[in-house]
Amino acid sequence: MSEKMITLTIDGQPVTVPEGTTILEAARQIEKDIPIICYHDATTSNGLCRLCVVDVNKGRLLQPACVAQCQEGAAIETHNERVERSRRTILEMLDSAVDLSQAPEIQAQFHDYQADPERFPGAKRRDHVELDDNPFYIRDYSQCVLCWRCVQVCAEDAQYTFALTLGERGFDTHVTTLFDLGMMDSPCVFCGQCVGICPTGALKPKVEWGLEQGFSADEIRQMTRRPRRKPEAES
Ligand code: SF4
Ligand code: FES
pLDDT grade, residue 72 (50/70/90)? Answer: very high
- C-alpha 227 to ligand 1 mean position (Å): 27
Label residues 169-207 b or e (16+ Cβ within 10 Å = b).
eeeeeebbbeeeeebeebebebeebbbebbbbbbbbebb
Ligand nearest to the CA of 62: 2
What value does the mean pLDDT of the chain take?
Answer: 94
Q: Is 174 in the pocket of ligand 2 (CB under 6 A)?
A: no
- C-alpha 223 to ligand 1 mean position (Å): 23
**Residue 141 burial (C-beta neighbours within 10 Å; 0-12, 13-18, 19+):** buried
Closest-lying ligand 1 atom to the alpha carbon of residue 194: 3
pLDDT of 110 over the 70 cut: yes
Phi, psi torsion values for 147, nearest 5 degrees: -80, -15
pLDDT of residue 232: 63
- Could you read off the pLDDT of 111-120 as tens digits, one per residue? 999 999 999 9
- C-alpha 148 to ligand 1 mean position (Å): 6
Which pTM value belongs to this model? 0.92
Domain 1-122 grouped into CATH 3.10.20.740: yes
Contact 186, 128 (CB under 8 A): no
Give me the percent of the chain exceeding a pLDDT of 90.
92
- C-alpha 76 to ligand 2 mean position (Å): 16
Contact 1, 21 (CB under 8 A): yes
Closest-lying ligand 2 atom to the alpha carbon of residue 38: 4
Q: Give one word for 108, left, alpha or beta, with left for phi > 0 and alpha for psi -120 to 50.
A: alpha
pLDDT of residue 3: 85
pLDDT of 5 over the 90 cut: yes
Domain 137-223, CATH: 3.30.70.20
Q: Is 147 in the pocket of ligand 2 (CB under 6 A)?
A: no
Closest-lying ligand 2 atom to the alpha carbon of residue 24: 2
Contact 210, 163 (CB under 8 A): no
pLDDT grade, residue 227 (50/70/90)? Answer: low
Closest-lying ligand 1 atom to the alpha carbon of residue 147: 8
Distance CA 195, CA 215 (A): 21
Per-domain boundaries in the chain: 1-122, 137-223
Q: Is 91 in the pocket of ligand 2 (CB under 6 A)?
A: no
Q: Is 23 in the pocket of ligand 1 (CB under 6 A)?
A: no
Residue 182, classed as helix, strand or coil, is: coil
- Could you read off the pLDDT of 179-210 as tens digits, one per residue? 899 999 999 999 999 999 999 999 999 999 99
End-to-end CA distance of the chain: 58
Give me the percent of the chain exceeding a pLDDT of 70.
95
Distance CA 41, CA 70 (A): 18
Please compute the mean of the pLDDT values over residues 18-45 and round it to a whole number: 97
